[in-house]
Structure 1
Amino acid sequence: MKTKNIKKVAILGAGVMGAQIAAHFANAGIPAILFDLAAKEGPKNGIVNNALATLKKLKPAPLGSKDVLSLVEAANYEDDLDKLKQADLIIEAVAERMDIKKSVYDMVEDYIREDAIFTTNTSGLSINELATVLPASLQSKFCGVHFFNPPRYMHLVEIIPTDNTNQQVIDDLEAVLTTVVGKGVIIAKDTPNFIANRIGVFSIVSTMHHGAQFGLPFETIDALTGVLIGRPKSATFRTADVVGLDTLAHTINTMKNGLPDDPWHAHFDQPAWMQALIEKGALGQKSGAGVYMKKGRDILVLDTEKGEYRPQNAELDPQVIEIMKKGQPQDRLVALHALKDSPQAQFLWSIFRDLFHYCATQLEHIADTARDIDFAIRWGFGYGQGPFETWQASGWNRIVAMIVDDIDAGKTMASSALPAWVMKVDGAHGPEGSYSAADDSFKPRSAAPVYQRQLFPDRLISEQADYGETLFEDDDIRIWHQGDEIAIASFKTKKHIIAEGVLKGLRKAVAIAEKDFKGLIVWQTEEPFTLGANLAPAAMAIADGQVDAVTQSVDFFQQTSQTLRFSAVPTVLATRGMALGGGCEFSMSATSVVAAFETYIGLVEAGVGLLPAGGGLKEIARRTAKETFGKDLYPMLEHYFKKVAMAAVAGSALEAKEIGFLKADTEVVFNPHEILYVAKAKVNYLHDKGYVPPANEQNIPVAGEPGIANMEMILANMLEGHMISEHDYEIAKRIAIVMCGGYVDAGSLVNEQYLLDLERKYFMELIQMPKTLARIEHTLKTGKPLRN
């Protein structure tokens, strides 16, 4: 089935969400018209122009590259409604008020094309009620869509059909959001706050309730409800500050007003301290103070009793830490429950228990299956596991008995019984699918064509991935295939670090692919792609005086890159997440790259006192010579030089193309679960057109001594301005020497091996310097760079 063509989108409302949604469609190469009211003074598009200017400053950056902003056109409702006829998809994203949304519909309804999809971005208003003001002609193509903030980075989008939405509209929108902008789509029922916010906000309400019940201060609650239990490090109250206390209050009120019969209704109130903060304008991060407040370098926390901010003092119960860090997942909740004399243990057990109780009770009303709730919470709130998965991992029936005991003892937030279905099953997820309370059956995943592109989608606790047939495997790498004549290599090292075994394995993979397969893909089963080479053995060998051994290792790394480059069959790297150092060099050497949009790639060796010596600088010199043929080499080399000397990392695959770490024709895929599918298509295309490997280039013109002199002048100015240290100067000077082809005349012709020899020579000079060894040691210990 063909995905609906979206040639242009229109976004109604240039607020925080509207502007960022427009930016993300622009990231995907889709022009967007961003509408708002006509400004009363100055240019009529002033409101939208201000919103677009803000996009450039926001962190995390909504723009994959500053250039994509040119795809967003400013418009206003007074002059430009006719432009709506150009849009294939219209997303209304104005303020979360029925009256405001309805007034916008009155303005735009006559300008929406017959074949366009019309949606409202809302976090919880009734979609059916909003639809009542639309003419009959728009009813069938209207639905809700809920992007999470920030829209570029949050994987979840909920689609909420009305009673009248045409199924084809839902299918088209699901395919577009999944493939074109890379989202994880959940189809939600039209209930207050839909799925993710309904469960996620309940979880926050429960956390606030039990935190107060057990007398725990905010910073202790955050220390308990973050990474310790597999949730984001912003935990509960830091997240509330980031989202905005007013926004959180709004979602709690939506539940209070819209769910009068909910057994937990009595708890849908904001605590007094939160109301007090909102009344005085302390809304969180956006206002400079909320639960937390930054003072100088310190982050202070609110003391609710005194009504003032104080230093943090999160003291965790060592018994709780022991259970959460060392205990087996299936035993943790039982162990917390048993620790009766620890308020922190009882707090944690209580928030899990009430979350399970709530999810089990609401499943039939808010979601098609337990899968939808678990993915909504993982993708929308960043939990490592969804509620039903955590319950199942802890021993389903054991937990059921414990919850029933607590309900009977009056310890739970609501006194309603657990629904009968939880007693009939051994878990919410099974081999046949995930449980649907409404249908009393286990349902498989969607078989929609868009999901055939996800060879390895996000998995639930009950699902195993079938990683094909193994061709070779050791501790460092696995080489395998799926019966389609394409070999795949996946690293097994921690963070996919490039150890010696990975290098040997990649060579083996190329040899296997050349003999029996159409091509080779390097793809990892999860992020990151790789954090680069393992520096510890090299640093230790240098300390032991084994200089020759390290020289040979560098040569082996370089020749592995060359093996990828000159393979008789195409080699394709499928990257997502971090692809640093040697990972960047491999991608520059391979035949082709298929990059997830969120690929953060760079030559970062200068940060640890080294220069790239896995073929990266050689490739920069070679590519520059090719791309500037007949013109001055230097400007392009200087651009690369600044990026490498500053250890720059591209903030997206688009930026990596601009920098030149990825070629201009690199395929960028927005859904990270589709990169392997597209990489296979790329191998087949290259094979089918009759792939011929490149020749080893013998005549590469270089910038030579004049180029080095120019770069040294830049460095001298930076040193004088205290922008770099003396050691930074030493590193960057050697990067310049290699990039410019050494101390030869400008325009001298060199070959690839000559450039590799230069890389290796100057790498070896740097790694023997005490300051470089200090940088390596510091980074290995702390994970952070040392500026010495």
Structure 2
Amino acid sequence: MPQLRIRKVAVLGAGVMGAQIAAHLANADVDTVLFDLPAKEGSPNGVVEKAIANLGKLSPAPFASKAKAAAITPANYDQHLELLRDCDLIIEAIAERMDWKKALYDRIEAYVAPHAILASNTSGLSINGLAEVLPESMHTRFCGVHFFNPPRYMHLAELIPCAKTDKQVLEGLETFLVTTLGKGVVYAKDTPNFIGNRIGVFSILSTLHHTARSGLGFDEVDALTGPLLGRPKSATYRTSDVVGLDTMAHVIKTMADTLPDDPWHQYFKAPDWLQALIAKGALGQKTGAGIFMKKGKDIVVLDLKAQDYRPATGVADPEVVAILKNKDPAARFAQLRASGHPQAKFLWAVFRDLFHYSAYHLASIAETARDVDLAIRWGYGWSLGPFETWQAAGWKQVAEWIAEDIVAGKAMSSAPLPDWVFDGRDGVHGADGSFSPARGGKLPRSALPVYQRQRFPDPVLGERAAPGETVFETDAVRMWHDGDGIAVLGFKTKMNTVGDGVLAGVLEAVDRAEKDFQGLVIWQPKEPFSAGADLSGAMASLQAGKLAEFEAMVETFQSASQRIKYSLVPVVAAVRGLALGGGCEFQMHSARTVFALESYIGLVEAGVGLLPAGGGLKEIALRAAQAAGPGGDVFAQLKPYFEAVAMGKVSTSALEAKELKLAREGDVVVFNAYELLHVAKAQARALAESGYRPPLPARGIPVAGDVGIATFRMMLENMLEGRFISEHDYEVSKRIATVMCGGDVDRGALVDEAWLLKLEREHFVALAQMPKTQERIAYMLKNGKPLRN
């Protein structure tokens, strides 16, 4: 099959979604042209230029690096339609109006290249309806591709074929979305709102209905429907405020207008209170008031009975929390159904109607139950989809309860559950695939070659990839392999923190890799890569007066980093999520790092009154010297490093980690986190095949010395005088500067790595013994955030 090559993409429409789609394409180094109407005044491209500028103000940031903004070419429909001729993919992302979209297709039709794909980023309009205006020759290259907001961060992309979309076009586009843009692709049938919003919005409507019936407050419902259910902190009503109450009402109206025969149609309407908020301009977060509002430092919530706002103090009752924390899903649901507590009754009702709706509509909206569960997890951030939740709770029993409630008139609809629900099954997912109503059996995952790059794809309940052959395993680490010559080491500690067990495991893994393998990859099955050193374990030794033991731990940490760096086989770090402190230092010492785009890297020890002592400052001094070159200005190279470390900066992406110089230019960034291990193993293998040798120990490292230290101290004294930093911040930063500059030696003096590591240890141990540092560590361990003392 010929491969689809996408070099250049046009995005039509510079609204919120179109501009952010363009930003994410630019993140991935895709040549991108962003179109909109010509501006009525000033620059003809003013509408697009303003949209690109506004992207820099959004949070979370659409750009993985601010520099990427310059990569988008602004254009307008009056002057630049000729640019479409060079585009391999055109993504239409204008407002959700069928007539406007069709008019735009009429306008661009003559400029679309014969090979180009045209895709509509609609959230629910009919793809076949949109295709009607296109010439027959374009139908094979037309489909829907629905990104979820914000496109950089939301994993889901729904792919919706029209009746004549060519299979090869879809598979080529799917491959591009998965690898280049890092998306999880789900195929949806051409039905209103597709899969994610059809099920997700119904879940919200069900919650609205049962909130009103139960008499619970909005804040109380959010306390119940957030993390306690494995869902985002914003839960239900805060999410509505973030999305925009006007947008929520529009989506509900779309469902009402396009699904007249849905058995739940009577519920597809915005409640009176929601319409009243919209009428007075209280649209949620974007207007500063909605269901919730900030008053001073307090959060207040709308109280329907009082017709006013009150303090948001609603919580989940301890009795219900105890039920939800039961680790047995079957027992949990039995207790929710049996309980007379209003909150428990509310939760059972919400789940019951979600399960009912999902089962009833599965055949019409998706090919398999897997598509529904992944769409909800990837598009709405739930830890489990509706079918997974039902199956885990005991399929047959829950189905009987739902059926009983339907007969008793307790369910939102009297529509019967489909016959397949009661065919003796124990669920819809298994090792052999997920249930497809159309096929009457289970379908395995896609065999498209792009998915061979995912050694451990995101599993649904009942799926488990082969774990590989264990080389050795302890309480702290596991080393394994697939028989391909590359070993993999993963940590098993909380947040993958580094303590004695992990350090011993790293040392043993490198020894074994040198003996039996071509390379070693450090990779974690789940985020984060590593949240840094095990502070609680380290401080326990110090507070017990075991100073020698504490110093030995620091030395072992440095030895592990050095062992990674000087291994005779390449050690590649595969990083996603947080790589802080010691986690950052491990990747700095690897032969190469492969980062997922959403990697947040930093040497953050200053936040707890310490300095990096796992070889991080040593590496910085070395890199600064190498960047300066013979006779160059080492101090100038150190300045950006010093600011990053002293302020505990954490990159907001892997691309920004390169700008902070905590990642190297030669390190690799992948956009799909599920491809991270594949790419890291490929990098290790390539290094090994090219005759890898570790770097020679650096012995003559020129340092900034006493002059550099004095210059940094002068900067710090000015900050202290201006009260930008505390006295202890000054102490910590002064010691960071001392190590980076190579200690109290002449400027330009030559030192070796051992000298720099010794400086790290001495200053780390000295800081660790200071009361203010210990206060900071204790505060961080208790509260999860830094103390500025």
CA distance in 1, matches of 2:627, 2:261: 68
For structure 2, which runs of at least 5 residues remain unmatched after alignment?
A: none
Shift of 1:546: 1.8
1:352-400 per-residue CA deviation (whole Å, 9 max, x = no partner) reads 0000000110000000000000000000011110000000000000101
Shift in Å, 1:330: 2.3
Q: Give the Cα separation in 1 of the matches to 2:772 and 2:466.
A: 47
**Residue in 2 that maps onto 1:45:** 45
- Say whether 1:384 aligns with 2:383: yes
Q: 1:627-655 CA distances to partner (integer Å, 9 max, x unpaired)? A: 22032111220110000000000110000
What is the match of residue 349 of structure 2?
A: 350
SS class of match (2:529): coil
User: Does residue 1:588 correspond to 2:572, yes or no?
Assistant: no
Question: What are the superposed Cα offsets for residues 521-570 of structure 1, whole Å, 9 maximum, x if unpaired?
Answer: 00001001110000112222222222222111111100100000000000
TM-superposed CA distance for 1:326, in Å, is 3.1
8 Å Cα contact 1:3/1:175 also seen in 2: no
Matched ranges for 1:515-530 at <5 A? 515-530=515-530
Alignment of 1:134-153 (within 5 A): 134-153=134-153
Distance 1:470 1:396 in 2: 34
Letter in 2 for 1:163: A
- Equivalent residue, structure 2, for 1:337: 337
Change beyond 3 A, Cα 1:121–1:780:
same
Once the two structures are superposed, what CA deviation does each residue of 1:210-230 show, in whole Å capped at 9, x if it has no partner?
A: 111111110011101111111
Deviation at 1:105, TM superposition (A): 1.3
1:476-495 pair list within 5 angstroms: 476-495=476-495
Q: Which one is further off, 303-312 or 285-294?
A: 303-312
Contact 1:89 1:118 in 2 (8 A): yes
Q: Residue 558 of structure 2 aligns to which amino acid in structure 1?
A: Q
In the TM superposition, what whole-angstrom CA distance separates every residue of 1:433-460 from its partner, at most 9, and x where no partner exists?
1001122111000010010000001011
d(CA) in 2 for partners of 1:273, 1:86: 50
Structure 2 Cα separation of the partners of residues 247 and 166 of structure 1: 33
The answer to whether the 8 Å contact 2:592/2:666 transfers is: no
Partner of 2:764: 763
Aligned-residue identity in percent? 58
State how far apart, in whole Å, the 2-side matches of 1:669 and 1:300 are.
Answer: 42
Deviation at 1:465, TM superposition (A): 2.6
Residue identity opposite 1:757 in structure 2? K
Secondary structure at the aligned position of 1:779 is classed as: helix
2:275 corresponds in structure 1 to: 275
- Residue 633 of structure 2 aligns with an amino acid whose one-letter code is D
1:313 and 2:316 correspond: no
Q: Which amino acid letter does the alignment assign opposite residue 378 of structure 2?
A: W
Question: Once the 2 structures are TM-superposed, how far is the Cα of residue 279 of structure 1 from its aligned partner?
Answer: 1.5
Contact 1:284–1:292, Cα closer than 8 Å, also in 2: yes
CA distance in 1, matches of 2:739, 2:620: 10
Q: Which residue of 2 aligns with 1:628?
A: 628
- Whether the 8 Å contact between 2:627 and 2:637 is mirrored in structure 1 is no
Q: 1:393 corresponds to which residue? A: 392
- Give 1:212's aligned amino acid: A
Letter in 1 for 2:64: G
One-letter amino acid matched to 1:320: V
- Partner SS, residue 189 of structure 1: coil
**Aligned counterparts of 2:575 and 2:354: Cα–Cα separation in 1:** 36
Amino acid at match of 2:405: D
Equivalent residue number for residue 470 of structure 2? 470
Cα deviation, 1:141-182, whole Å, max 9, x if unaligned, reads: 111111011110000000111001111111011000000010
Show the counterpart of 1:120.
120
**SS of the residue 1:326 aligns to:** coil
Q: Distance in 1 between matches of 2:659 and 2:468?
A: 36
Superposed displacement of residue 327, structure 1: 4.6
- Residue 675 of structure 2 corresponds to residue 670 of structure 1: no
Larger mean CA deviation between 424-433 and 221-230 belongs to: 424-433
Contact persistence 2:431–2:464 (CA under 8 A): no
Q: Distance in 2 between matches of 1:87 and 1:300?
A: 49
- After superposing on structure 2, the runs of 4+ consecutive aligned residues of structure 1 that deviate more than 3 Å are none
**Counterpart secondary structure, 2:650:** coil
Q: CA deviation at 1:2?
A: 7.0
Pairing of 1:587-626 with structure 2 (within 5 A): 587-626=587-626
Aligned-partner SS, 1:623 = helix
C-alpha RMSD over aligned residues: 1.0
Once the two structures are overlaid, the 10-residue window that deviates more, 420-429 or 322-331, is: 322-331
Partner SS, residue 179 of structure 1: helix
> Hey, what's the Cα distance between the residues in 2 that align with 1:656 and 1:211?
45
Aligned partners of 1:5, 1:772: CA distance in 2, in Å? 54
- For the residue of structure 1 that corresponds to 2:325, the secondary structure is helix
**Segment of structure 1 superposing worse, 57-66 or 134-143:** 134-143
CA contact (8 A) 2:224 2:315 kept: no
Task: Report the AA paired with residue 552 of structure 1.
Answer: A
* Contact kept? 1:219, 1:314, Cα under 8 Å: yes
Q: AA paired with 2:591? A: T
Q: Is the 8 A contact 1:155 1:184 kept in 2?
A: yes
Which residue of structure 2 lines up, in the alignment, with residue 416 of structure 1? 415
TM superposition shift of 1:309? 1.5
Structure 1 counterpart of 2:758, which letter? Answer: D
Bigger Cα displacement from structure 2, 104-113 vs 216-225:
104-113
Contact 1:10/1:34 (<8 A) preserved: yes
Give the 5 Å matches for 1:254-333. Answer: 254-333=254-333
SS at match of 1:143: strand
**2:639 match:** 638
Number of the residue aligned with 2:162:
162
Q: What is the deviation of 1:317?
A: 2.4
CA distance in 2, matches of 1:338, 1:47: 57
Q: Is the 8 A contact 2:468 2:482 kept in 1?
A: yes
* Structure 2 residue aligned with 1:787: 788
Aligned to 1:650: 651
**Where does residue 558 of structure 1 map in the other structure?**
558
**324-333 or 633-642, which deviates more:** 324-333
Give the unaligned 5+ runs of structure 1: none
> Structure 1 CA distance, aligned partners of 2:100 and 2:444?
40
Structure 2 counterpart of 1:747? 748
Q: Secondary structure of 1:78's partner?
A: coil
Q: Distance in 2 between matches of 1:8 and 1:646?
A: 39
* Greater mean deviation of Cα atoms: 480-489 or 534-543: 534-543
Q: Could you tell me how far 1:43 is from its partner in structure 2?
A: 1.0
The aligned amino acid for 1:568 is L
CA contact (8 A) 1:521 1:572 kept: yes
- In the alignment, the residues of structure 1 paired with residue 269 and residue 728 of structure 2 have an alpha-carbon distance, to the nearest angstrom, of 58
Taking the aligned partners of 1:481 and 1:556, their CA distance within structure 2 comes to: 26
The aligned residue for residue 441 of structure 1 is 441
How far off its partner does 1:247 sit?
A: 1.3
Contact 1:317-1:342 within 8 A present in 2 as well: no
Q: Are 1:640 and 1:659, in contact at CA under 8 Å, matched by a contact in 2? A: yes
Secondary structure at 1:165's aligned position in 2? Answer: coil
Count of aligned pairs between the two proteins: 787
TM-score by length of 1: 0.99
- Displacement of 1:6: 1.7
Whole-angstrom CA distance in 2 between matches of 1:575 and 1:490: 11
Match of 2:196 in 1: 196
Name the residue aligned to 1:406: 405
> CA offsets, 1:492-522, max 9 Å, x none?
1111011111000001000110001001000
Q: Which whole-Å deviations, capped at 9, do the CAs of 1:274-310 have from their partners, x for residues lacking one?
A: 1111122211111111111111111111122333221
TM superposition shift of 1:313 = 2.5
Contact 1:139/1:165 (8 A) holds in 2: yes
